[in-house]
Structures are given as C-alpha cells and as structure tokens.
Amino acid sequence: MKPILTSEKDAITEAVKSAQYAESVGASRISFCPATIHKDTLMEQLWRGGSYQPPWIWSIMEIIRKVRGSLEIPVIMDTAGFGSRRGPYNCKKCNSKLKDMIIESNIDQSIPEDLECECKDKWKSEIEFSDITRSTTNLVRKR
C-alpha cells in the first residue's frame, strides 16, 4: 500500500478498489502490506532525497474502515514496521495505540473505533490537497 509516485489519497483509493476487485474475482481473503522502506531500493533513494514518505497510519485506518465496511471476506492488515522511521507512521502520541487497534481488529475483523490526535489534521490536509500538490518526487538527479 502506497507505492512510490502515488499520493496518500490515491493510495487509499487504489487499495479499496483492489480489494473490491479481488473479492469480485473470487478471492477468499485479502492481506494488505503497507509500504516499508528497505535498504538499497529505489524507494529508499527517493525517501533519503525527501521525495517519498511511507503511508500515514491514518490512511491505513481509512482503508480498513472502507474495505471492511463494504466486503464480505476477511481483511488482514500487516503491521510490520509501524511507528518506525521506515514504516507507516503518524506521531509518537498515537502510533502504538493505532497499531494495537489494528492488530485487535485483524483478529476479530471489526472496524476500529475512531481515535483523535493532533497529527490527524495534518493527514486530513494532505488528503484534501493531494490533487493540487500531487507527488513531490524530484526525478532530476542532484549533482
């Protein structure tokens, strides 16, 4: 979830559409793996240059809500890398709580309750203005 050159908003939309498609062609379960940055990859190179950020955990919560609210098959969200520099991240105040909520919801297939945090407004702004800002990726090599 959230490959390079994809806005946060587009990553959410694509994940939901992919899940709906998977169910429509007969998948019996869905497992999402949010992007984490691995060594010696293009993603790491873009991240080090300030042109990529892993997904917000808020985006992952949004995907869970939309997919579990519309599909009949089980949906699992991988939480590896949550809260680390190279994985899905919100802020130090809510990372752990949201990760725990996602793990619990994976077990019982519930839709996690809403949580408020100061960082949520920043995420909402990024979603709202993503059509204007698009990608910040600079494809021109620095010399």
pLDDT band at residue 131 using 50, 70 and 90 as cut-offs? confident
Give the span between the Cα atoms of 112 and 101, in whole angstroms. 6
pLDDT band for 134, please (50, 70, 90 cuts). low
| 62 burial via Cβ count (<10 Å: 0-12, 13-18, 19+) | buried
Strands 30-32 vs 75-77: parallel, antiparallel or unpaired = parallel
Instruction: For residue 8, count other CB atoms closer than 10 A to its CB.
Output: 18
The kind and range of the H/E element at 13 are: helix 8-24
Contact status, residue 79 vs residue 99, Cβ threshold 8 Å: yes
Query: What pLDDT, in 10s, does the model give residues 21-74?
Result: 999 999 999 999 999 999 999 999 999 999 999 999 999 999 999 999 999 999
Band (pLDDT 50/70/90 cuts) for residue 138 is: very low
Q: Is the pLDDT of residue 94 over 50?
A: yes
Cβ atoms of 99 and 83 within 8 Å: the answer is yes
